Chains A and B, each alone.
Chain A
């Protein structure tokens, strides 16, 4: 059988989103489902009573500010990439990475505060949920940081520019998503004490 393939030009696409970007959105959907189910579990469990009420650590407000701020930098890096300003892209992504890392440290400090106010992972589920939700978000944020570093590496290799935006676009989407996810969790935790 002759299997010498002559792969010709593909027929025109029936849909215009870049497949990888689309896959990225689907991935975000799965993450949304994880957190949606955990927060619904939180509500269901809270409704059953025996629920310890405590103050959220104040530092979470600071952390929320940091992550919002990092999203602004991310957007700036993205716009810079669109304008082929590689230097600013590097600065922007670097700043986002540093802010992201600071956020993580802040989250760990928040856990420290919780421990100091005698809220442990083991104990009433109201406390355990806070640890699980913040911890799981932080794990995703670590993933985001790794993604940032990959984009930073491509930028240094001059692979990120106005003609090659897919990677930084996906990174931006994911980072904004992580920021949005955190705000959702924070507001949720504030509302459902």
Chain B
């Protein structure tokens, strides 16, 4: 369903290496696979967003007659036009699953890791194009199964995206735990295979296929982010597979890994000795790193965009790498902070509080580094830059509320209330989403050889940025007031039965924000065919992808792969004293404010630092022969 949309995008590319099927469908070219992931991701995001609009209608307008949704939802709307409470849970579950896995994992990593890794490290393609293609098609199959499960008579999986057993293990507990859950598990198993295939490929490519001179200390931060993301995925997704495997055994073969002493549907089940907490441990061992699988690529993309559009180097390149490494490592030892009130040993709770709050330190370092990068910059507000600043804002506001939840004593009250909903939607949902959008705006010229319309981009940004805050900021208030999440309605409780207005406000904001995304959709597809033609390096950036032709063909560079001499952030580099003394004002003005990575130091004597002048001695004749445009 995704490939059809991309099939015309290279209409001027007379690069007929293969037929339609090998070029657009079963392509092994990393750029085409990236586009496939992107368009699939966009379709999933629309669907995920639409689901949230439906349940927001229920929450904001509990008395509304939803009969007009009957053509889509069928039996799930009853005769009075009311949404079925169980289907409400199905909507919530599928919204979570789709957004976390299909949009922000596959859509984000799949798109940008595939697209940027070979281009930015100077490789012709991924280590294995075939595996890369398999990765997409496993994802596609998984998507198809998950999509079909939406239309089951018994409904899709409805036990929350965390699928805690016994609820998810027993069809007696809710109808969604029947076939819907089975399909969820099958789809997720395929999804994990897809992610692992992708991850293995990314890591192998980054380690083995960097161009000459591209040492790890010269890698753009995007690549560092994708690299660490892939490693985290490789270590954590197999664990989800184990958790799912045991759940499948419990569901289908009657084992008791997670089930114990259950009386349901008028009978006592024979299972004893299982532990539901065991599932939660296994799940969150993936689940928490998953947060960073979603977030790190966005942070990497943002680092790149903010540096480029501030026309100055990212502040603290090494600190950025260090903090990402810290986050990656710590992400594996904080999982149980999701489980403070599950009856887990309180002592474990103390340890996880400690470890969890430590993770705030590298996150804080990242924020301060972004701010310092903006400081005294020469800021150009492309849509990508705006979305990156938006990401930093969400990362701060969502990250700070993490200090509440991470502290086990405070977590008791706000656990599973709207406070946590606000927290993770800002820090991982919206922030990652903004990273993805920023990436699309920034690399669109490289993907499709055309520019997206900037003005529409600005409108899209401001509507979305403000809209998202209008949705999630009030949720903190509702959360402080104690509203539990995943409630179909609050009218049963006096404690929660206020704030109808606020809920309506949130719902309206959600619909507004959702509708605003159509501006992006229009811009995206319109620009793909009719956008202004791009130049090879429209943002005056330094990384290698901008040294390719406007529409890079299979193999990326028509001639030799460029060699790399310098780090990726030689932006706004000052003229050194020696040259400043003899340069006229005119000459000073003509010194470019960016030096791409493939320019040898011998070509830039006016901006070299003394230690860089020494590096010239290491360059050979070929290097010196490189022409600077």
Contact = CB atoms under 8 A, between A and B. Distances in A.
Interface of A: 1-15, 17, 19-20, 22-23, 26-27, 29-31, 33-34, 37-38, 41, 44-45, 48, 50-51, 121-125, 128-129, 132, 136
Contacts of A123: 255-256
Interface of B: 12-15, 122, 124, 127-128, 131, 196, 199-201, 203-205, 207-212, 214-215, 234-239, 241-243, 245-246, 249, 253-257, 272-275, 278, 281-282, 285, 549-551, 553-555, 558-561, 563
Contact of B275 (A19, A20, A31, A45): A45
B207 A15 contact: yes
Contact of A1 (B199, B201, B282, B550): B550
In the A-B complex, the 3 residue pairs with the closest CB atoms: A11-B212, A33-B238, A3-B553
Which of the listed residues A1, A20, A124 has the most CB atoms from chain B within 10 Å of its own CB? A1
13 contacts: A3-B551, A7-B555, A11-B560, A12-B212, A13-B209, A14-B214, A23-B131, A26-B204, A26-B234, A33-B235, A44-B275, A45-B275, A122-B253
Given A19-B127, A33-B236, A37-B285, 15 more contacts: A2-B558, A3-B549, A5-B554, A10-B561, A12-B212, A17-B208, A22-B208, A23-B204, A26-B204, A29-B234, A30-B234, A34-B238, A41-B246, A41-B257, A41-B282
Given A124-B273, A128-B257, A1 B204 contact: no
A10 B249 contact: no
B124 A7 contact: yes
Q: Is the interface of B mostly helix, strand, loop or mixed?
A: loop
B127 A23 contact: yes
B282 A37 contact: yes
Contacts of B204: 19, 22-23, 26
Contacts of A26: 199-200, 203-204, 234
Given A14-B215, A37-B282, A30 B238 contact: yes
Contacts of A128: 249, 255-257
Contacts of B205: 19
B257 A45 contact: yes
B273 A1 contact: no
Contacts of B236: 33
Contacts of A8: 559-560
A1 B208 contact: no
B165 to A, nearest CB: 13
Nearest to A7: B555
A73 B259 CA distance: 44
Contact of A13 (B208, B245, B274): B208
B593 to A, nearest CB: 28
A125 B274 contact: yes
Given A10-B561, A14-B210, A3 B15 contact: yes
Contacts of A41: 242, 246, 257, 278, 281-282
B196 A122 contact: no
A3 B559 CA distance: 10
A23 B246 CA distance: 27
Nearest to B554: A5
A8 B622 CA distance: 15
Given A3-B553, A11-B211, A132-B246, A37 B238 contact: yes
Given A22-B204, A34-B239, A1 B211 contact: no
Nearest to B214: A14
A125 B256 contact: yes
Contacts of B273: 50-51, 124-125
Contacts of B127: 19-20, 22-23
Contact of B208 (A2, A15, A129): A15
B170 to A, nearest CB: 15
Given A19-B209, A23-B128, A124-B256, A3 B13 contact: yes
A29 B235 contact: yes
A128 B245 CA distance: 12
A60 to B, nearest CB: 21
A27 B199 CA distance: 10
A136 B245 contact: yes
Contacts of B203: 22, 26
B272 A19 contact: no
A5 B555 contact: yes
A59 B118 CA distance: 50
A132 B243 CA distance: 12
B249 A132 contact: yes
A37 B255 contact: no
B608 to A, nearest CB: 23
Contact of B12 (A1, A6, A10, A23): A1
Nearest to B564: A11
B138 to A, nearest CB: 14
Given A19-B209, A23-B204, A121 B255 contact: yes
A3 B207 contact: no
Given A2-B558, A17-B208, A26-B203, A121 B253 contact: yes
B128 A20 contact: yes
A11 B236 CA distance: 34
B558 to A, nearest CB: 6
Nearest to A3: B553
Nearest to A34: B238
Contacts of B14: 1, 3
B561 A6 contact: no
B317 to A, nearest CB: 19
Q: Which of B13, B237, B241 has the most CB of A within 10 A?
A: B241
Nearest to A10: B561
B255 A125 contact: yes
Nearest to B122: A11
Contacts of A14: 208, 210-212, 214-215
A82 to B, nearest CB: 23
A6 B257 CA distance: 58
Contacts of A19: 127-128, 204-205, 208-209
A155 to B, nearest CB: 23
Nearest to A128: B255
Contacts of B272: 50, 124
A1 B256 contact: no
Contact of B563 (A6, A11, A129): A11
A155 B623 CA distance: 44
A122 B255 contact: yes
Contacts of B253: 121-122
A51 B260 CA distance: 13
A37 B275 contact: no
B172 to A, nearest CB: 18
